Structure 1
Amino acid sequence: MDEKDFPNFYIAGDSASLSAQKFYTNYIKWSLISMLTAAVVAIYSFQEVESKRIGYVISGILLMISTILSLIIKNKKYESTWYRGRALAESAKTLTWRFMTKSEYFEDTINDDEAKKRFINRIKEIKNEFKDLNASLKAKHLSVPIITEKMIATRQLNLKDRMEFYLKNRIENQISWYSSKADANKNKYEIWFWAVIIMQILALVSVAYLVFNPESNIKLVGLFTSLSACCLAWLQLKKYQENKEAYTTAVSELNLIKQEAELIHTEEKFQIYVLDSENAMSREHTLWLAQKRI
């Protein structure tokens, strides 16, 4: 399934979420860089008054930039748009898969016109639930179809082909995505955590240096403590460890669900199977949102 095969609100929510995430992380990144640069300026203790004044001015400007960026982050509410946009996209995606596979509320016992009507009504409910995102959703994304040709074509497949399509494009695709994300988050967590420890050790070394050389004009303690704090702040922002655990749990559960497909031979059992699968993915997303304190 390509992005264009999903409903307009999935595309719009996904785009809004990714855009807000990009702005949010970039503003945080440059705010931290500004503070670090201010710390670098303060490394050398100048003796001349004019040199000190210039250093203070530069530090003040950098700290002002960091403060302005923090105010922008607060007022623009990028973090909320990031998580709410993702929730909108995931809600629309789950509804789409239930429609295509003739799962609960879109069963094979109702005709396609009734199924389309029910799908549109559910999309309206989702739209109303996320009214706060209206300003962040782009018109060009909302103008694409609510029910795509791919959705209709998939729904019209026989049971065997629908099952194969769902297993390949939903279950296996998600298992692969969660697995790669779990590994990536684990590696990044290790890198950034060790960065925190190394900066703390260097700060201790710098303190020891000043103990034995108190007359030195070079003071690196502030720089390394600032670097350590920035690395720790980045860890908290990205939540690598929490995400790794959530993704790993999802992979384990989905892999078990995947094996159960071999026992399905009727529409009724497939409806329940899809519902269980989508609930498993919803639990992972709910946990992800909870970790972000939404």
Structure 2
Amino acid sequence: METLAEDEFPALFRAADRSAVAGQRRLLATTGLRLTCLVIAATFGAFSLDIAKIDTAAVLAAAALAAALVTEVYLLTAMPDRQWSEARAAAESAKSLTWRYVVGGTPFGRREHDEQSADLLLLRRFTAIARELHNFAPIPLSDGDAQLTSAMRQLRASSLEERKRHYMSGRVDDQRAWYRAKATANERRASRWSVALAALEALGLVTAVLNGAQVLNLDLPGIVGAIGAAGIAWMQTRQHRQLATTYSVAALELGDIISRAEWPSTEEEWARFVEEAEDVISREHAAWWKAHS
């Protein structure tokens, strides 16, 4: 095998990863729906539309506000943001422990632990992670899911050179490429949102001047302001700028790690090298948690 496949990772990681994806989707969907409803309410609240002696625009504005209220209640009670952040933290912690275990990194060094003691330590660490969970249940995907898979044990039993190759290609190189791609994507999105919001502010200024000159008889500045506020709230939810910086720093630090990959020649040196690499990745996860908590 070239590296560990997703179905060869522990049950805790797979369950937490699935829950994190679901939590993120629910958070973004409900947040987007809430902001859209608020913009719709502001739009229909800016004018009257009488149909059969009923102000239809006011009715639609009220309906949009009611929908926004329902989604707000959902966000406050279901807390998909907490599920997302907690599940992602659990998944990444389990993934880091898995890689440390399979390649013999600290605290699972091959010289310090035999097979049984390393297995026991890993299982205890997984149990500690599971006991700290409050916002989701890490239910295994199937009855056959295990915390220790045969592929994990097989890789741990391989030679130092084989483990080094697997770790560098399957963990460090892969993670650095992911960071680099995400940093680029988030920086691009942050720039686009900044330009769009600046254009909205300019449009709001123009409409305000036209309203002041009584060229327009519609509350366009209020509508534009509502759209701008929704855009700002969406940017705060996605944290594009902060994530771009965090991912860029992590990619650079992993580049330093990669340049020293050939230095470790003993099990002890390799264990410390893996610990240093995982610490770099863990710092990125800690920064991500802070940005989303």
Closer, same or farther in 2 for the Cα pair 1:166/1:190, shift >3 Å?
A: same
SS at match of 1:254: helix
SS at match of 2:147: coil
Consecutive unaligned residues of structure 2, counting only runs of 5 or more, are none
Query: Does the 8 Å CA contact 1:103/1:275 hold for their aligned counterparts?
Result: yes
TM-superposed CA distance for 1:87, in Å, is: 0.8
Closer, same or farther in 2 for the Cα pair 1:141/1:221, shift >3 Å?
A: farther
Q: Which protein has the bigger helix share?
A: 1
TM-superposed CA distance for 1:129, in Å, is: 2.1
Q: TM-score normalized by structure 2? A: 0.93
Closer, same or farther in 2 for the Cα pair 1:127/1:143, shift >3 Å?
A: farther
Closer, same or farther in 2 for the Cα pair 1:210/1:51, shift >3 Å?
A: farther
**Equivalence for 1:91:** 93
Q: 2:29 aligns with which of 14, 26, 31?
A: 26
Q: TM-score normalized by structure 1? A: 0.93
**Equivalence for 1:170:** 171
TM-superposed CA distance for 1:137, in Å, is: 2.7
**Equivalence for 2:256:** 256
| CA distance, structure 2, for counterparts of residue 283 and residue 219 of structure 1 | 47
| CA distance, structure 1, for counterparts of residue 167 and residue 173 of structure 2 | 9
TM-superposed CA distance for 1:44, in Å, is: 3.5
**Equivalence for 1:71:** 73
**Equivalence for 1:10:** 13
**Equivalence for 2:129:** 126
Query: Does the 8 Å CA contact 1:9/1:142 hold for their aligned counterparts?
Result: no
Consecutive unaligned residues of structure 1, counting only runs of 5 or more, are none
TM-superposed CA distance for 1:56, in Å, is: 1.1
Q: Which amino acid aligns with 1:120?
A: L
Alignment RMSD (CA, Å) = 1.7
| CA distance, structure 2, for counterparts of residue 52 and residue 209 of structure 1 | 29
SS at match of 2:272: helix
TM-superposed CA distance for 1:95, in Å, is: 0.7
Matching of residues 178-217 of structure 1 within 5 Å: 178-213=179-214, 216-217=216-217
| CA distance, structure 2, for counterparts of residue 141 and residue 186 of structure 1 | 38
**Equivalence for 1:61:** 63
Identity of aligned residues (%): 25
SS at match of 2:110: coil
1:204-261 CA-partner distances (Å, limit 9, x unpaired): 11111112225x4433111111111111111111010100110001001110011111
| CA distance, structure 2, for counterparts of residue 118 and residue 178 of structure 1 | 30
Query: Does the 8 Å CA contact 2:15/2:139 hold for their aligned counterparts?
Result: yes
Q: Which amino acid aligns with 1:199?
A: L
Of 63-72 and 53-62, more deviation after overlay is shown by 53-62
